Amino acid sequence: MSRSWGATWLDIVDRSKAFVAEDLARGEAYARHDWQLDLDLEPGRAFAVARSGPRVSHLAEVRARQLSTEEWDRVLSLIASSAARTAALLDRSLDEALLDEASSAGVNLLPEPSEITTACSCNTPGSPCKHAAAVLYIMADSFDEDPFDLLEFRGLDGHAVIERVNAMRAANDNPESEDATASADGSDSESNPPETESPAPQTDVSTSMMPGELAWKREPSPLPEALPVPSEPTTIVPWASSPPPRSPFTAAGLLTITADAAARAHNMLTAGGSPSLHLDRHADLARRAAEAEDTNRWPSISSASPFSSQELRARAAAWRVAGSQGVAALDFDGEIRRIDDSTRIRSDAHKRWFRFEKISGRWVMTSGPYDEPPDR
């Protein structure tokens, strides 16, 4: 079974004698937990700006040799020779078997360990420093998500790949015959009588690339008839095996996320509910807590939360009252007014008011928002 592009890249990184395992581990942790790393790619170079604070940033980069023109010809010929592989280019997809086939053709599509070098403006001792090591790991994610990133890193961007593969397939589908060439040069036409002109070959869009301009001009096919909405959200089938060791999620976590997405989609279709796709982490945690409260899912959500169980319940209550607005009101140090011994009202950043009641010794949001402060 072929390994993914990213996993194979990390195998090569691990084999490099220039890199120390402990330094790579620090970089992996930095890559998995620091969201401020945005990867940029260009031929032969991958780089990212690692921000350690509002005024501190470092430029970390990874470099490798670009493939030669002759090497690219071999790789692109392997792609062009397969109709399925050529068609997959439309989805920016390439199968991992191409790595082995390219190797058999004498081309290492992924660089050798000795070809990989790193650098960083932090000048921290280490081989590599944690910033450059983090780039090595986010490159693996990038190669898995879009194999064209690997091709660009090795010297050829996606547009050039598609263009050259198209040219190769066109040359194979419509070879110029020697007789036609001779006739065009003025050779004896009687000994080489012209053949009856045949109609131009039709483009088979299932196996050939179609220029974007023609694709946009095509009349869209009619949409299929909508299927009836099921009475319950889709049942999610668990993974048959655990995710790879380097994955930033567990099988149980992935199951939770997909089940939650299915439930939200079903709610949109049946009740017209909001998909809540643009929530910050605190608001989304409150949403999930509100749905899990008093169920067997509560212990896992509560234990993983940065809030105490009581505070998480207060946030779940705020979500039920006013969604993300209610959660934001909890995090804002607004004006508080006393109504009576068990009732308070509190303003948020937008001068809206929320009502709180003391329940079992805790202040819990019970209604809101109000444009004007309620008097009771």
* pLDDT at res. 175: 57
pTM: 0.48
Nearest to 24 by CA among 114, 124, 110, 136: 136
Per-residue pLDDT, 77: 92
Q: Which residues contact 180 (CB under 8 A, 6 or more apart)?
A: none
Residue 219 has a pLDDT of: 84
Residue at token pair 């896992």? 300
Backbone φ, ψ for residue 318 (5° rounding):
-65, -40
What pLDDT is recorded for position 366? 93
d(CA 244, CA 265) in angstroms, rounded, equals: 28
d(CA 145, CA 182): 49
Per-residue pLDDT at 205:
38
**What pLDDT does 374 receive?**
84
171, two tokens: 């040359």
Sequential DSSP letters for 165-201: HHHHHHHHHSPPPHHHHHHHTT--TTTSPPPPPPPPP
Tokens 């961007």, residue located: 157
What was the pLDDT predicted at 1? Answer: 42
- What pLDDT is stored for residue 318 in this prediction? 93
CA distance 214 to 370: 55
| Diameter of the chain measured on Cα atoms | 112
Dist. CA 183–CA 21, nearest whole Å? 67
Say if residues 293 and 316 touch (Cβ distance below 8 Å): yes
Spatial distance between the Cα atoms of 175 and 201, rounded to a whole number of angstroms: 13
In angstroms, rounded to a whole number, what is the distance separating the alpha carbons of residues 162 and 126?
40
pLDDT tens, the chain, 376 aa long: 456 888 999 999 999 988 998 889 888 888 877 545 678 888 999 988 877 655 667 888 999 999 999 999 999 999 998 888 888 887 788 888 888 899 999 999 999 999 999 998 887 877 888 889 999 999 998 998 888 899 999 999 888 888 899 888 888 766 554 443 344 344 444 444 444 444 444 444 344 556 777 778 888 888 888 888 888 887 777 776 777 777 777 777 788 888 888 888 888 888 776 666 678 888 889 998 998 888 888 888 888 888 888 889 999 999 999 988 999 888 888 889 998 888 999 999 889 999 999 888 888 999 989 999 887 7
Q: What is the pLDDT of residue 206?
A: 42
Structure confidence at residue 172 (pLDDT): 77
Non-local (6+) Cβ contacts of 214 within 8 A are none
Nearest CA-CA partner of 290 in 315, 307, 269, 270: 315
Q: What does residue 58 show for φ and ψ, rounded to 5 degrees?
A: -135, 140
Per-residue DSSP letter, 206: T
